[in-house]
Amino acid sequence: MELFDPDEFFNQQEIAGRYQLKEKLGEGGLGVVYSVHDRTLDRIVAIKVLKAEVSEELAVRFQREAKAAARLQQANILQVLDFGVAGNYLYLVMELVEGRSLADLIEERQFLEWKEAAPLFVQICDGMANAHYNGIYHRDLKPSNIMLVDGEDGETLVKIVDFGLAKSAEGDQSLTREGAGIGSPLYMSPEQAEGKNVDERADIYSMGCLMYETLAGEPPFMGATAVETIMKQVSEAPVPLSEKSGRTFPDAVEDCVRTCIQKEPSKRFKHFGLLKDAIEAVPIQAPETRSESSFIPESASNTKPRIIAIATTILAALFCFFAYNLMTSDAPEVVPKKENSPQDPFVNPISEKIEGDPKTVAKRLFDVRDLETGVRVKGGMGTINDQNLELLLAHPDMSGVESIRNLDVKRTMITGETFDRLQGLAISEVRVGYCPLTDKGLAVIARSKGLRQLYLENNDSLSKDALKGLGQCPSLLYLEVSGKQLDDCSITDLGALKHLLYLKFIELKLGKSALKTVSGLPRLATINFRKCEFAPGSLSFLSRCKNLERVTFELSVLDAGTLTDLLKIPVKSILLDRTEVEPGVDLLDLAKVPGLEEVDIAQCKGVTRAMLVALRKAGLRVKFKPLITREDKDPFGLEELSKSKMLGPQE
């Protein structure tokens, strides 16, 4: 293996012309990851480079397999954006997300309670169901390959990583040597360890090990060596969660995990849809009981022959495992795409309708608990599509209902193009983020009866002309919008929303024409910028707003230029939420904002005690939540200050 030379890689013509190196993010035995600026997409992305120089044969296979992984377009799977060969190096370009791994969280917290873990498990099931439908197995599902990202409304969004190098079931089988036990020993299924063929149930097994570790604090099988760990995976019965952790668990939780980590694939959940059903069937606040029979060990007669049969195979498989990984990543597997089954609504494609009794199917798809709160989709991505949306009307609890407050279909396969099938139902609020929403679909949703609030987040399938469709909903009061294709011209289409009170932009680059349009919205009272960038001088256009009262910067950077523009905007309240205040920026200058009464600062980097005290002395009402890190629990004495009368009460 040649030593990796980053200068040589980034000086390759095809790399230097498109990617500008920002910083090194991490390095492992096989590859190194950098953050780079993609000049073509004009965004910061991650690029992973395999350090070993490769043969032409391996390069061809890599491109075939990376292409398969790139077709995975799902909210809970880290997206592959590009791939290729530069010189003798293979590289993979992926979306760059801010967050930490589930492994890091477990290390910090030791374990998660069921009510915290279950929503994460559900999202993993959504992502894996989508991957399996598209014919890709992961084969290395583990906590370190689960990223946790801050989502909208305080939700945690799961991103499954390392789908980047898939092993193809098509083509030259010599490239995927039999017996190469791809995977990590702590999470490896018995059939992987034995070098046998695997299917989706191998990922189910790994998921069970992941769930076990998340809840108990350590994996179900852990030996002193890799060989010993693999032997335990193949032959040893797991200790019940309750016994391992010293805490009690509902029988349903014990049964769910036990079923995942059965030695025989036929005894596990058949697919992730069934596993998700089992997870969601456990009440979040379920009474905890301890059952001595929750885990039923396999009989000695079943395990002893297995030990004898694989004793020599394990060493060979382990050797192949490490040898194979010198040339490739711990990779998912590509398998032939399966036809959807009517009995399996969790892997249906975007255009197929689920067959069966409408009322029964509707109860499975939709959570209609409280019509005052709203209706949400149970299954997430892969569970519901355009053809199944109208089944909501067949739900027994929807009988005679003419209006609902909220319809939450985010993280589904909805394009929006069949929303008119619900035209008899008045819907005040629609949440349709992380969906393959189309321009036509957005226009159809905009015509929904009674629509007042619309949440659009990560709808990257929208074109730059998509927002024209919102002109059909002039009575809209509340709008959240994002999309990679949206630009200043797109934002000018919002000028027709004359009744808009609240507007939130998410991860957009905003110029003068966009914010000039916004300034002309006569009733706009609140504007929120989440991870947005501003052209110089553009923000100052908001000074023309007639009724603007509050400006929020969320997960943003407050630099000198932004502050200068902000000082020109007459507002009553400014909120800085998880925003970095750049060195040299003095928050005391906010006292110069015309009419400002309140400053709300929540978990912001760069804020000093002196700034807060000065703002209070300037006559402003100051609320704040200090930024507390593991390294320094209270760097400026802010926690003590927050309890004093100097800053007034917090809300």
Positions annotated as catalytic residues are 140
Tokens of 319: 């050797």
Burial of 549 (0-12, 13-18, 19+ CB in 10 A): middle
The CA distances from residue 362 to 206, 332, 355, 382, 398, in Å, are 31, 33, 11, 15, 10
Tokens of 244: 């391992």
Which residues are CB-neighbours of 283 under 8 A, at least 6 positions away?
A: none
Strand 43-50 to 89-95 pairing: antiparallel
**Helices in 358-492 by DSSP H: which ranges?**
358-365, 439-446, 488-492
The CA distances from residue 146 to 29, 184, 373, in Å, are 19, 14, 31
Q: How far is Cα 307 from Cα 303, in angstroms, rounded to an integer?
A: 6
| DSSP-assigned beta bridge partners for residue 45 | 36, 95
Which residues are CB-neighbours of 59 under 8 A, at least 6 positions away?
A: 85, 90
Amino acid identity at 226: A
**Helices in 326-356 by DSSP H: which ranges?**
none
Contact yes or no for 640/612 (Cβ under 8 A): no
Q: How far is Cα 473 from Cα 491, in angstroms, rounded to an integer?
A: 15
Cα 592 to chain centroid, rounded: 39
Contact yes or no for 392/375 (Cβ under 8 A): yes
Closest CA to 546 of 590, 498, 615, 504: 498
The CA distances from residue 558 to 177, 528, 584, 597, 604, in Å, are 54, 14, 10, 19, 10
Tokens of 207: 């998921």
Angle at 433 between CA 429 and CA 437, to 5 degrees: 100
- Kindly compute the dihedral angle of the four CA atoms of residues 465, 468, 470, 471, in this order, to the nearest 10 degrees: 180
Q: How far is Cα 599 from Cα 567, in angstroms, rounded to an integer?
A: 13
Closest CA to 442 of 424, 464, 415: 415
| DSSP-assigned beta bridge partners for residue 34 | 24, 47
Burial of 470 (0-12, 13-18, 19+ CB in 10 A): buried
Q: Which helix (H) or strand (E) holds 599?
A: strand 598-602
Q: How far is Cα 386 from Cα 432, in angstroms, rounded to an integer?
A: 12
Q: Which residues of 159-168 are buried (b: 16+ CB within 10 A; e: fewer)?
A: bbbbbbbbbb
3-class DSSP assignment, residue 143: helix
Q: How far is Cα 130 from Cα 133, in angstroms, rounded to an integer?
A: 5
Count of residues for the chain?
A: 651
